Amino acid sequence: MTPARDPDANGPEASAASDAADLDGEFGFAEPSTDQSFENALAKARDGARLSVDDAVELLATGTDADGIDRVRKERVLEAADRRRREEVGDEVTFVANLNNNVTTACNTGCLFCNFKDSAHAFEADSDADHAGFTKTPTESRRIVEDALEMGVYEVCSVSGLHPALALNAEHHEILAARDDPASEVNYRPPAAYATDPGTYLEQMRAMSVGGVHLHSMTPEEAYHAARGTDWDYETVYRELAAAGLDSAPGTAAEILVDEVRDVICPGKIRTDDWVAAMEGAVAAGLDVTSTMMYGHVETVEHRARHLQVIRDLQDRTGGITEFVPLSFIHRNTPLYRHGVVDSGPSRDEDELVVAVARLFLDNVDHVQASWVKSGDAHGLKLLNCGADDFMGTILSEEITKRAGGEHGEYRSFEDYVEMITAIGRTPVERSTDYRTRRRIDPDDGPHGPRLGPRADGTPMLPDRSADGASPEGGSAGAGD
């Protein structure tokens, strides 16, 4: 396990932001260059050869021999990726009926790309701090999942802040409390110190794993938190979580899996090696995992390529990754933006190239996702023609990107999916979380609703609100990694 981190809410973010801001956008990162050429890299991609990091750098940059993105070269990369997608997974576009139930926003880690968190001090029982955050008890989590099951949902995704009172189980509470100074040594305060007790990780897993729902939760960072202050390895932790109802683990908290980038944007988080070890532990415990990359902040195209190498190597060893999810950095409301370290997120061209190169480079990961939450409908559909074959899920509640300043809504109905996917000439397919169960949807056989869930009977999940002028995207103002 990685060593304990400084839990001072004002310390990590304030000092890291100050250090990053002092750099004025100059991080000492080498300008990407390779011994490869764009043309050779593209030829390898078209031939289906396994690409190197240098190949990926050239494709992501549309050639390091010139500044900026060359639009003609970009389209050639997108064409190669779309052809590869068609050859490998066909013309189906998949999606899932899911719900986000994030347990708490309380967190002291201080990541500069995040506006989801709230200082954990604000949640203490004697605090008078004004904040918009939340902590849910296991009972509240169960009620939310039960209500979602009645709507036909069959996947619950839960990604939360690192609440100091969250421990794996009762034994873990005892271990943490026995420290001389648990708050500073292992970022721990007892549940009694807070206005709301979040329960233990195992209690939250049991609460959300009801009625046959698929529980997708516990990032590598959360697994670290669930073992902090102990000598438990990641496989042990994930086996405990799986016994309590966890079905698969999200490969988020990845950001960019290159430590010099992590030193800038999330110095308080686990390192690349620990992220990899956590994913290996989850797979060893019998769980499927996903993989992600949050890009478009301070990293270079070489960092993106090296990140993809980490993912591909992990998949070569484990075979447990079901999908790759590119996460476009939403800059508004984040410390990186507020402190002047960045002035925007990635461009649309960069979004398209990341999806395309992921398809070409990750030759051992079948599915690449496009995000309507990050990109909106029109651009999300464009990404489906750049190598992506999955279009996320119904979501129902999306708090992370919204709080970071995203603008593209909080949920999507089956009717929306069928209409959008058929509009680009592709086949809409309802899928299970692990992609092993699929149901092709006939656009003419409406109305459309989920059928794969334990209580799903095809009834539309959400009412048609077009009659009262309400937006099908809801009234959100934003969302993140």
Q: Are 59 and 43 in contact (CB under 8 A)?
A: no
Could you read off the pLDDT of 191-203 as tens digits, one per residue? 999 999 999 999 9
Q: How far is CA 224 from CA 117, 238, 281, 318, 471, in A?
A: 17, 10, 11, 20, 40
Q: Are 366 and 319 in contact (CB under 8 A)?
A: no
Spatial neighbors of 243 by CB under 8 A, at least 6 apart, are none
Token code pair at residue 47: 């031939």
Could you read off the pLDDT of 218-268 as tens digits, one per residue? 999 999 999 999 999 999 999 999 999 999 999 999 999 999 999 998 888
Token code pair at residue 32: 């990407």
Token code pair at residue 255: 């950001």
Q: How far is CA 262 from CA 13, 16, 20, 315, in A?
A: 13, 11, 12, 22
Q: Are 291 and 365 in contact (CB under 8 A)?
A: yes
| Model pLDDT, residue 11 | 43
Q: How far apart are CA 292 and CA 116, in angstroms?
A: 18
pLDDT of 167 over the 70 cut: yes
Q: What pTM value is reported for the model?
A: 0.89
Average pLDDT, the chain: 87
| Model pLDDT, residue 7 | 38
pLDDT of 357 over the 60 cut: yes
| Model pLDDT, residue 38 | 98
| Model pLDDT, residue 376 | 80
SS3 255: coil
Q: Which residue has the tokens 């904040």?
A: 131
| Model pLDDT, residue 398 | 38
Token code pair at residue 275: 């992220």
Could you read off the pLDDT of 68-115 as tens digits, one per residue? 999 999 999 999 999 999 999 999 999 999 999 999 999 887 777 776
| Model pLDDT, residue 26 | 62
Q: Are 286 and 249 in contact (CB under 8 A)?
A: no
| Model pLDDT, residue 372 | 85
| Model pLDDT, residue 336 | 82
| Model pLDDT, residue 270 | 95
pLDDT of 21 over the 70 cut: no
Instruction: Give the start-end residues of each E strand in 12-150.
Output: 92-96, 98-100
Confidence of residue 463 (pLDDT cuts 50, 70, 90): low
| Model pLDDT, residue 109 | 77
β 438-440/427-431 pair status: antiparallel
Q: What is the rounded average pLDDT of the residues 153-167?
A: 95
Could you read off the pLDDT of 362-388 as tens digits, one per residue? 999 999 999 888 878 899 999 999 999
Cα–Cα–Cα angle for 349, 115, 356, rounded to 5 degrees: 20
- Cis peptide bond N-terminal to 447, omega within 30: yes
Lowest mean pLDDT among 76-80, 120-124, 140-144, 191-195: 120-124
Tell me the CB-side half-sphere exposure of residue 108, using CA atoms within 13 A. Answer: 24
| Model pLDDT, residue 251 | 97
